[in-house]
Amino acid sequence: MRVLVTGGAGFIGSSLVHALIAGGNAVAVIDDLSTGSVADLHPAASFRSLDVLDPTLAQVMADFAPEAVVHLAAQTDVQRSIADPGRDRAVNVDGTVAVARVAAAAGARVMLSASSAVYGDPETLPIAETAPKRPINPYGASKLAAESALAQALAGTGVDFACMRLANVYGPRQDWRGEGGVVAILGAKFAAGKRPAIFGDGTQTRDFIYVGDVVAFILSALDAETPLASGSPDGPAYNVSTGTATSVEQVAGYLCALSDVLVGIDHEPARQGDIRHSVLDPAKAAAALDWRAAQPIESGLAITWRWLSTTLR
């Protein structure tokens, strides 16, 4: 299969590209390297340093002629979305429309990286795809708008698509600098022998899913013989999650034990736009694609810690 991956030099994208190439697929990567790394690019993938809003995107897509497009390029920082909602929407919504239009011209199936943030603070847990969507920050709102924009851009084209509502993804290659994922940030502090800080009291929960399980979902969806966008609750939306809640405090405890670093944990005030509890129901993905997250949190964190400690020491 010929697969084009936007954001393919990033955390999830580079992991996916390595798996796709290992499976014998031809892969092209588009990434503006604003958060991705050249070091994580697979040498067998063709690469263009390009913003998805660049008008030359159409020619790049036409030259490669993909059969599928996995759209992972995005603005993913909640706090940055609050500070600059216009840029957040431009990248996440306008960028998705641009990718959808050129993918439709190629007749390529589209997989959009959506987010659990579309649900906001849920009424009940775990959250099914049909639950109310009430995002509480600009990031969640832009991701929900991106789903609608994708559906509108592909309406009447016959192009199949899916919106992957990702839980909190962690694993090797995740950036610990700036506003990286909480697992990477906490792990990096322990690796440096420093006291990490948790925003809030640490009892807030998330559905932490290992990056390899996300990659496995994408591979299953790309190989699906039946349409992904219809015939199931909430159409093209799929929760990509474990269905298990883990507190940030628990994650810090696991990493502390793995690091064998005897330092305390500081607490800072909870941040605006942060969701208190979030755990997604992955039953739809299991029924439609026979996919289930396979990596327990303890072993996933152990793998991540080995990568972090090797990278930072």
- Residue 287 placed within a domain: no
Query: Residues 58, 10: one domain?
Result: yes
pTM for this one?
A: 0.95
Query: Residues 177, 232: one domain?
Result: no
What's the confidence (pLDDT) of residue 180? 63
Is residue 29 within a helix (H) or strand (E), and if so which, with residue range?
strand 26-31
What's the confidence (pLDDT) of residue 262? 74
The string of DSSP codes covering 238-287 is EEES-S--EEHHHHHHHHHHHHT-----EEEPPPTT--SB--B--HHHHH
Confidence class of residue 274 from pLDDT cuts 50, 70 and 90?
confident
Query: Residues 43, 139: one domain?
Result: yes
Query: Residues 257, 221: one domain?
Result: no
Chain mean position to CA 90: 18
Whether the upstream peptide bond of residue 126 has omega within 30° of 0, thus cis, is yes
Query: Distances from the Cα of 244 to the Cαs of 20, 48, 128, 304, in angstroms?
Result: 28, 38, 13, 19
Chain mean position to CA 85: 19
* Contact residues for 286 (Cβ-Cβ < 8 A; gap 6+): 292
198 forms beta bridges with 267
Domain of residue 37, residue span: 2-169+209-240
Query: Residues 15, 78: one domain?
Result: yes
Is residue 199 within a helix (H) or strand (E), and if so which, with residue range?
strand 197-199
| Buried b / exposed e along 273-295 (16+ C-beta atoms within 10 A) | bebeebbbbbebbeebbebebeb
What's the confidence (pLDDT) of residue 103? 96
Count of the separate structural domains present in the chain: 2
Give the closest residue to 134 by CA, choosing from 117, 115, 120.
120
Question: What is the rounded CA–CA span in Å between residue 234 and residue 229?
Answer: 9
* Inter-residue long-range contacts of 223-231, CB under 8 Å, 24+ positions, other chains counted: 224/288, 224/289, 226/288, 227/160, 228/109, 228/160, 228/161, 228/162, 228/288, 229/151, 229/160, 229/161, 229/162
Question: What is the rounded CA–CA span in Å between residue 158 and residue 238?
Answer: 20
Confidence class of residue 31 from pLDDT cuts 50, 70 and 90?
very high
Residue type, 147: E
313: pLDDT strictly greater than 80:
no
Question: What is the rounded CA–CA span in Å between residue 69 and residue 66?
Answer: 7
Confidence class of residue 261 from pLDDT cuts 50, 70 and 90?
confident
pLDDT in tens, 41-97: 999 999 999 999 999 999 999 999 999 999 999 988 888 899 999 999 999 999 999
We report the CATH number of the domain holding residue 273 as 3.90.25.10
pLDDT in tens, 121-169: 998 999 999 999 999 999 999 999 999 999 999 999 999 999 999 999 9
Query: Residues 55, 93: one domain?
Result: yes
Q: Which of 119, 139, 170, 238 is catalytic?
A: 139
Query: Residues 76, 99: one domain?
Result: yes
Question: What is the rounded CA–CA span in Å between residue 313 and residue 309?
Answer: 6
247 forms beta bridges with 205
Question: What is the rounded CA–CA span in Å between residue 240 and residue 162?
Answer: 11
Tokens 């605006």, residue? Answer: 272
Please indicate whether residue 119 is annotated as part of the active site. no
**Which 3 state secondary structure label does DSSP give 109?**
strand
